[in-house]
Amino acid sequence: MRVDLLIHSAGQLLTIASPGPKTGPAMSDLGLIEDGALAIKDGRIALVGKSKEVRAQAEAKEELDASGRVVMPGFVDPHTHLVFAGSRADEFEMRLKGATYLEIMAAGGGIMSTVRATRQATVEELLAESWQRVDRMLAYGTTTAEVKTGYGLNMAQELKMLQAIKSLDRTHPVDLVATFLGAHAIPEEYKGRNEEYLDVVVKEMLPQAAQEGACFCDVFCDEGAFTLAQSRRILEAAKAWGLGLKIHADEFKTLGGAALAAELGATSADHLICTPEEELRLLAEAGTVAVLLPGTPFGLGGEHYAPARRMIELGLRVALGTDLNPGTCWCESMQFVIALAARKMGMTPAEAIVASTLNAAYALEKSAEVGSLEVGKKADILILETSDYRDLAYRFGGNLVARVFKGGQSVWPKEVD
Ligand code: NIG
Ligand code: FE
């Protein structure tokens, strides 16, 4: 077979091959091939196996020797708020002095402060700031990411955010999936008129967002944000418009958002820091992906992390994401999230890698295309500058990604010797 590129002699090739999402003990299986090779043709994976076998079948235009390297699928980051304007470094300092996230939010800061900055920015300014972040995500190995709206909170501004997400998706190598999060906060102009704002979200913004390319609808179901009943109303309407469902549930307080996600067949329920065991079981039964975001409690200096070990025991589909946002977690690196998942949630390096690739692809309904290195999938590939995949969890604060291929194209070059 004639192929475009042959990557061979990988010390550890992590295929993460699987017919479905990985749960329980299967999360420890990375489909690791020693002395592995991949052949790429027309941007897709054409052959995978031992170097000897793949070489025997492939006639390559270009070859890359990956000896002493880990070769693995690009990270999928299933939860980001990457498009925003401005900074909340001042709030960070207030928190260091003892103010809490919920207090700052109740005083009109928090999400609303980023809403003000985002509304003031032109699309071009929003794009320029967001471009730097998505570029950093790529450098750290993310090749597919979800991006939420939710800093516009009126029709024109939410559409501006969607436009920015679509434009980044078109012009930047990272593939982006848009989520409508009109129910992120009650905007100032609707203060005390929550139900009226909900009417606008459900009757006006949601249908428009669905038409403008949003794939998912999310809601911030928590204290100081949206109640369980309000969240239900939004998600039921989104379902009727054909959108996939996501929910920010149990980040601060237990409101029943996880059970709601399971009941409505949501694609994912995210955060899940204080979710009761009964609701975890419902998520496992429903097949709703649990997207865990350990960067957020870390960013807030909190003590409580999602009970990942228990979730894995119960058979949940566990995924990891950054939650990149200016308020709780300005972090572009899935590598850092893996390091945190190991230390703060007891996940093994292998489990954390599966959660950041294949299971994260399920959280975006993109598993047919990305998340593992299997024949027919997109050639979204990382070459690490280490020979041991465990270094992704063991070492932290730097960048182990030496090269990134997106759809078979080299998009993040750094000389591999
Ligand atoms: O996932 N919780 C809601 N949304 C974000 C925070 C957004 C913000 O503070 O700007 C989160 O933590
Ligand atoms: Fe979030």
Looking from the CA of residue 114, the nearest atom of ligand 1 is 10
Whether 351 maps to a domain, the answer reads yes
Looking from the CA of residue 323, the nearest atom of ligand 1 is 1
Residues 16 and 83 in one domain: no
Residues 359 and 379 in one domain: no
Residues 272 and 304 in one domain: yes
How is 123-172 classified by DSSP, letter by letter? HHHHHHHHHHHHHHHHHTTEEEEEEE--S--SHHHHHHHHHHHHHHHHHS
**How far, in Å, CA of 388 to CA of 25, rounded?**
21
In degrees and rounded to multiples of 5, residue 143 shows phi and psi of -115, -15
Q: What is the pLDDT of residues 111-156, one digit of tens each?
A: 999 999 999 999 999 999 999 999 999 999 999 999 999 999 999 9
Whether 402 maps to a domain, the answer reads yes
Residues 42 and 190 in one domain: no
Strand partners, 180: 217
E strands in 268-349: 268-271, 289-292, 317-320
Residues 204 and 338 in one domain: yes
pLDDT over 90 at 416, yes or no: no
Looking from the CA of residue 293, the nearest atom of ligand 1 is 1
Largest CA distance in the chain: 69
Residues 198 and 294 in one domain: yes
Q: Report yes or no: 271 and 279 within 8 Å, Cβ to Cβ.
A: no
Range of the domain at 64: 2-73+372-412
Once rounded to an integer, what is the mean pLDDT over residues 55-78?
Answer: 98
Whether 338 maps to a domain, the answer reads yes
pLDDT over 80 at 320, yes or no: yes
Whether 202 maps to a domain, the answer reads yes
Whether 208 maps to a domain, the answer reads yes
Residues 37 and 127 in one domain: no
* Cα-to-centroid distance, 79 and ligand 2 (Å): 6
Q: Is the dihedral of CA 125, 126, 127, 130 positive or negative?
A: positive
Q: What is the pLDDT of residues 276-319, one digit of tens each?
A: 999 999 999 999 999 999 999 999 999 999 999 999 999 999 99
Query: Any residues with CB less than 8 A from the CB of 417 and at least 6 apart, and which?
Result: none
Residues 118 and 260 in one domain: yes
Residues 207 and 344 in one domain: yes
Whether 256 maps to a domain, the answer reads yes
CATH code, domain with 90? 3.20.20.140
CATH code, domain with 389? 2.30.40.10
Q: What is the pLDDT of residues 364-399, one digit of tens each?
A: 999 999 999 999 999 999 999 999 999 999 999 999
The number of folded domains in the chain is: 2
* Cα-to-centroid distance, 363 and ligand 2 (Å): 14
Q: Report yes or no: 323 and 291 within 8 Å, Cβ to Cβ.
A: no
Whether 233 maps to a domain, the answer reads yes
- Residue 366 corresponds to which tokens in the numbers above? 């993109």
Q: Looking at this protein, which amino acid is placed at residue 102? A: L
Which of 363, 388, 404 corresponds to the end of one domain?
Answer: 363
Residues 135 and 41 in one domain: no
Residues with CB under 6 A from ligand 1: 81, 110-111, 114, 220, 248, 251, 296, 323, 325-328
Q: Please report which confidence band the pLDDT of residue 413 belongs to, taking 50, 70 and 90 as the band edges.
A: confident
Which of 340, 363, 386 corresponds to the end of one domain?
Answer: 363
Q: Report yes or no: 45 and 78 within 8 Å, Cβ to Cβ.
A: no
- Residue 412 corresponds to which tokens in the numbers above? 């993040």
Residues 53 and 145 in one domain: no
Q: Please report which confidence band the pLDDT of residue 414 belongs to, taking 50, 70 and 90 as the band edges.
A: low
Residues 67 and 85 in one domain: no
pLDDT over 80 at 84, yes or no: yes
* Cα-to-centroid distance, 317 and ligand 2 (Å): 19
Query: How many other C-beta atoms lie within 10 A of the C-beta of residue 6?
Result: 23
Whether 417 maps to a domain, the answer reads no
- pLDDT number for residue 64: 98
Strand partners, 147: 178
